[in-house]
Amino acid sequence: MSRRVRDIDANQDLISEGDSPEDVHLILEGFAVRYKLTTQGRRQILAYMIAGDFCDVHVTLLRRMDHGIRTLRPSRVVRISPGTLLEILERQPAIARAIWLCGLVDEATQREWLVNVGQRSAPQRIAHLFCEMHVRMGIVGLTSNGSFELPLTQEELGDTMGLSNVHVNRSLKELRESELVTLRNGQIVISDVDRLKAFSGFDPSYLHLERTAPFAPADTDIA
Amino acid sequence: MSRRVRDIDANQDLISEGDSPEDVHLILEGFAVRYKLTTQGRRQILAYMIAGDFCDVHVTLLRRMDHGIRTLRPSRVVRISPGTLLEILERQPAIARAIWLCGLVDEATQREWLVNVGQRSAPQRIAHLFCEMHVRMGIVGLTSNGSFELPLTQEELGDTMGLSNVHVNRSLKELRESELVTLRNGQIVISDVDRLKAFSGFDPSYLHLERTAPFAPADTDIA
DNA sequence: CGGCTATTTGAACACCTTCAAGTACGGTGG
DNA sequence: CCACCGTACTTGAAGGTGTTCAAATAGCCG
């Protein structure tokens, strides 16, 4: 299976909207986004994918991709044929459950993003995202003490939150000046996690952490 | 199984956030929404559920509901125990696939809603939602000639789109005066479907219609 | 150094919200 | 039958949040 591991540069489409990819992709390392373009040429980023995330289990049933997937950092992915995947799902119920569970958490996250964009102010949205990524990066062992790498330009942040890059800039400034959180050179530093959570209204229950993550942290050697 | 069919009034919580329901619910008839409240007391509606939609397959794996489900119209639901469901999934692979497929379309819809709220203007958002519901209601045989029932107050519409009820009102007026679509007494009338699609940037591919719906239209007698 | 991209700031404007008040409508009870 | 009530819808006015356009600054890489 390790034969099917591939290294991808940053800013490459792994899969484009409309594709009917042969394989399912699993991120081993790096950072990628799920995104969609509107007819008017605007972009909405739908999800961030980090180590341990499946990109597109749906292609086993749905032919066409209704969105694209793009790396933002150099990434390592493994391609799994739907046949192999279905076989694993059948033979290893524990893994099947784990993959299903991951999908459910992804869905819950998708819902929370809608709440975020629909109901919160710009600084709150950004703060909420940072709280979420702090938790997620923590699970895979990529945080240290309220600090972690988040390789996003302000424009990409804007496309995530439904905001202009200019307004993202001003909101980040506001967060910095309130000494809640700073983002510099793709590095997040959270001064006081609890204050940031309170400010953004972050409640991690949608991440369903009580269930231990089925793919263990940092153990990216699944393949 | 028909023993487990229940009729519910309008505006009742079928399941509340934090619940650990025993059963999975399937809507047979009526109209319900998935929603979430923020700490600041705002509400985001996450999905509309109509005949043939599962409310909460996730509870088979995830204990706590991270959102609530509420009827907006008198509805008929059937409760299925996770055990029964898992048994069906195992014995009837065709149904298992169908249910899985439905879930994938729900996810795709969730993504498109994020695009909608994140990237489109108020009138476009509303128009896009109406296009989507026109298709969905059509699938279950509840449209007639660009017209269908959509039992939402303007406030509920606002909670769906991340807009105030006042602005929903003005946007609806705009849509009405452009002769694109009208909403009166919970009844949608689309004058020219193609113009409405063009206006809102609606592209139905995310609904994955090429795959015929596994639960046949109007045949609500699954139970 | 030069050229690229990302960030930062200013100014004007648009979209959307909030508050407030008035209107329409359906249901209930005298 | 009509008065009353509650809810939803409608409209106006003022203000706030976020956008757009434009230009300047900073940082990175060849």
| Summary mean pLDDT of chain B | 92
- On whether any CB of chain B is under 8 Å from the CB of A16, the answer is no
Residue B210: other Cβ atoms inside 10 A: 9
- pLDDT above 90: residue A222: no
> pLDDT at position B219, please?
37
CA neighbor of A66 nearest in space, from B203, B85, B191, B128:
B203
Of all residues in chain B, the percent with pLDDT exceeding 90 is: 85
Predicted confidence at residue B211, as pLDDT, reads 62
Q: Given this model, what pLDDT does residue B1 score? A: 57
Q: Is B22 domain-assigned?
A: yes
Which residues of chain A have a CB within 8 Å of the CB of B206? 66
Q: Do A115 and B66 touch (CB under 8 A)?
A: no
- Reference A110, options A58, A188, A187; nearest CA is A58
For B47, the 3-state DSSP assignment is strand
**Does one domain contain both B202 and B138?**
yes
Residues A149 and A184 in one domain: yes
Whether residue B35 lies within 8 A of chain A, CB to CB, comes out as no
Can you say whether the dihedral through the CA atoms of B89, B91, B95, B98 is positive or negative? Answer: positive
For B167, phi and psi rounded to 5 degrees? -75, -30
For chain A, the domain total comes to 2
pLDDT, position B210:
82
What's the CATH code of the domain at A194? 1.10.10.10
B90: in domain? no
For residue A120, what are the domain limits? 109-207
Is the predicted pLDDT of residue A211 greater than 80, yes or no? no
Domain identity same for A196 and A116 = yes
Residue B157 CB partners (closer than 8 Å, separation 6+): B126, B129, B163, B165, B168
B76 & B17 share domain = yes
Do B178 and B117 share a structural domain? yes
**pLDDT score of A2:** 58
Does residue B94 fall inside a structural domain? no
Q: Are both A70 and A149 inside the same structural domain?
A: no
In sequence order, the 6+-apart residues with CB closer than 8 A to the CB of A38 are: A44, B115, B119, B120, B201
B223 in a structural domain: no
A167: amino acid identity, one letter: H
B63 and B121 co-located in one domain: no
Give the per-residue SS3 of B184-218.
ECCEEEECCHHHHHHHHCCCHHHHCCCCCCCCCCC
> Given strand B187-190, what is the order of strands in its sheet?
B147-149, B187-190, B181-184
Residue B216 has pLDDT above 60, yes or no: no
Nearest chain B CA: its distance from A137 CA (Å): 21
pLDDT band at B3 (very low <50, low <70, confident <90, very high): low
**Pick from B86, B92, B99: which is nearest to B214 by CA?**
B99
d(CA B138, CA B116): 21
Is A112 an interface residue toward B (CB < 8 Å)?
yes
Q: Which stretches within A5-121 are classed as H helix?
A: 82-91, 93-119
B48 shares contact with chain A (CB less than 8 Å): no
| Nearest residue to A84 via CA among A4, A181, A145 | A4
Same-domain pairing of B31 and B71: yes
Q: How far apart are CA A124 and CA A181, in angstroms?
A: 12
On whether both A10 and A51 belong to a single domain, the answer is yes
pLDDT at A95: 93
- In a domain? residue A104: no
Strand partners, B5: B78
Looking at the structure, do residues A138 and A202 belong to the same domain, yes or no? yes
Alpha-carbon distances, residue B55 vs A163, B17, B153 (angstroms) = 31, 13, 22
Q: How far is CA A3 from CA A7, A69, A222, in A?
A: 12, 22, 13
> What pLDDT band is residue A50 in, cutting at 50, 70 and 90?
very high
The percentage of residues in chain A with a pLDDT greater than 90, rounded to a whole number, is 85
pLDDT given for residue A115 in this prediction: 98
**Bases in strand C with any atom closer than 7 Å to a protein CB:** 6-11, 15-20, 26
Within 7 Å: CB of A223 and strand D?
no
Inform me whether the pLDDT recorded for A223 exceeds 90.
no
Predicted local distance difference test score (pLDDT) of residue B221: 36
Highest-confidence range of A82-91, B7-16, B208-217, by mean pLDDT?
B7-16
Q: At a CB cut-off of 8 Å and minimum separation 6, what does B198 contact?
A: none
CB contact under 8 A, B117 and A118: yes
Q: What is the mean pLDDT of residues B64-82?
A: 95
C-alpha neighbours within 13 Å on the C-beta side of residue A218: 4
Strands of B38-169 (E only): list them: 43-49, 68-71, 75-80, 147-149
**How many whole angstroms separate alpha carbon A53 and alpha carbon A77?**
10
Supply the CATH number for residue A74's domain.
2.60.120.10
Mean pLDDT of A139-164: 96
Nearest to B150 by CA among B184, B195, B201: B184
Residue A204 has pLDDT above 90, yes or no: yes
Rg (CA), chain B: 17
B75-80 sheet: strands from edge to edge:
B5-8, B75-80, B24-29
- How many angstroms separate the CA atoms of B103 and B109, rounded? 10
Q: Residue B205 corresponds to which amino acid?
A: S
**Does one domain contain both B76 and B118?**
no
The pLDDT assigned to B60 comes to 87
Tell me the per-residue pLDDT of B19-70, one tens digit each, with 9 for 90 and over.
999 999 999 999 999 999 999 999 999 999 999 999 999 988 898 999 999 9
Do the domain assignments include residue A96?
A: no
Q: Do residue A119 and residue B203 have CB atoms under 8 angstroms apart?
A: no
Evaluated on CA atoms A160, A164, A165, A168, the torsion sign reads negative
Is B139 a member of any domain?
Answer: yes
What is the model's pLDDT at position B63? Answer: 85
Q: Does the structure show a pLDDT above 90 at A221? A: no
Enter the DSSP assignment of A216.
Answer: P
The size of the A-B interface in CB pairs under 8 A is 116
Q: Do A99 and A14 meet the contact criterion of CB atoms below 8 Å apart?
A: no
Q: Which of A34, A61, A108 is facing B101, going by the closest CB pair? A: A61
- Give the model confidence (pLDDT) of B163-197 as tens digits: 999 999 999 999 999 999 999 999 999 999 999 99
**Does some domain include residue B105?**
no
Above pLDDT 70, what percent of chain A? Answer: 93
| Interatomic CA distance for residues A77 and A140, integer angstroms | 16
Cβ atoms of A104 and B61 within 8 Å: the answer is: yes
Residues A158-178 have pLDDT tens digits of 999 999 999 999 999 999 999
- Whether A27 and A114 map to the same domain: the answer is no
Give the pLDDT band (50/70/90) at residue A1.
low
Is residue A212 scored above 60 in pLDDT?
no
